Structure 1
């Protein structure tokens, strides 16, 4: 059966289906196929026009229909070239899969103006889109992908900017942490100093033994001590019991 509903066949609601647009208009959105005819007759160059005449793409006022009414083959060029008006021509044939039919306007035997093109592909009839429609669709598709590419690039750039801002925020956080660490160090130093002030001072050194008088350094020793430097400003106290040794005794001969 035909894929496109024909007039006179009611649909499931009981209402007649809408009429197809008149031939010669844009009918690229519909397709015609009559499986019953295809199962009955072979699809070749001699019968393909009869099959095409069943479709809504066929204009019954064309010159080919007049030839059919006169029992002449509708594609006979010897008769069509003598007529003027709308006609159909079998433009290209690849049996049994592809048949290209061109609708044209004939003004004289030599002057023909192409109008529309139809093709029969594996038994289904389609109207070929016009060249301007093909260009418009291709350009629209190209613009779509270009716009999509720009949108993808813009989103990636925004992501890179967000990552850089995150890095800056991380750097600020690290600097803040370092500042907090320095403050903690100063606080610890302050606590240690306060504890040191609270500690008792060191006990004084033990007293010298009775009768011991510390020797005074001479001028030479004072000069040598000044030249050696001030590594020890206060020398450690001298233990008289260890350093002085036993008391001197008188030697007898």
Structure 2
């Protein structure tokens, strides 16, 4: 809690009044003022809120409101403030008893004022509102931080996915090699099953006889076949055109 400021003190040893405190600086956004003793003693409403604000380091003792206080006039009386020129404080927005917004402005005439700074009292704590450019800079910096963090997290996850794909490919290649390995025991077992089934099947029927007028080619013509014919012409069959069962299996007529 900041130390409350006091008004002009009593005359010193030499008879001259003590000089007023220096005006506050422009950037005081890092300061929070709260006087719990005052809050426990007085209610925080629109009539006493300026007296509470005057205790904070944000208060400018050279303002027009202080001159009205020294004349026992309410410091927020607009009928008197509008007739003065210089720095003044004005109660801009009120949401009793939680929020009070006080604006510091420079008055050059009854209708001509220039805003300078803004302060707000939130549940008894007084803050200076930051400038709009500082708000944008802070928000953009925070957004960039989270975007950079998101890209870093995504990159780390993609690296893990790449490692997993590499491991899966190596495992698949190993399994493929294992699958391509021939198991001779299984081959023998399949051959045994096929041979047993073949023994159980009935014998093949005899082939039908040659048709009338068909003359099988001689052995000499069969040997000359590929050499004596052109490559593009179809070659006559060298065996039985009906079923190739071999000459040993044909029945004699």
TM-score normalized with structure 2 length? 0.61
Larger Rg: 1
Where does residue 227 of structure 1 map in the other structure?
248
SS in 2 for 1:28: coil
SS in 1 for 2:73: coil
The CA RMSD measured in Å over matched residues stands at 3.0
Structure 2 unmatched runs, 5+: 7-20, 185-245
User: 1:24/1:111 Cα in 2 relative to 1: closer, same or farther (>3 Å)?
Assistant: farther
User: 1:24/1:107 Cα in 2 relative to 1: closer, same or farther (>3 Å)?
Assistant: farther
1:150 and 1:133 mapped to 2: Cα distance?
A: 26
Structural mapping, 1:180-195, within 5 Å: 181=181
User: 1:172/1:107 Cα in 2 relative to 1: closer, same or farther (>3 Å)?
Assistant: same
Please report how far the alpha carbon of residue 178 of structure 1 lies from its aligned counterpart in structure 2 after TM superposition: 5.7
Where does residue 40 of structure 1 map in the other structure?
41
- The total of aligned residue pairs comes to 177
Structural mapping, 1:144-183, within 5 Å: 144-177=145-178, 181=181
2:46 and 2:138 mapped to 1: Cα distance?
A: 32
User: 1:21/1:153 Cα in 2 relative to 1: closer, same or farther (>3 Å)?
Assistant: farther
Structure 1 unmatched runs, 5+: 9-19, 186-224, 230-253
1:7 and 1:102 mapped to 2: Cα distance?
A: 19
Please report how far the alpha carbon of residue 88 of structure 1 lies from its aligned counterpart in structure 2 after TM superposition: 0.3
Please report how far the alpha carbon of residue 39 of structure 1 lies from its aligned counterpart in structure 2 after TM superposition: 2.2
Structural mapping, 1:1-253, within 5 Å: 3-5=1-3, 23-177=24-178, 181=181, 227-228=248-249
Please report how far the alpha carbon of residue 22 of structure 1 lies from its aligned counterpart in structure 2 after TM superposition: 5.4
TM-score normalized with structure 1 length? 0.61
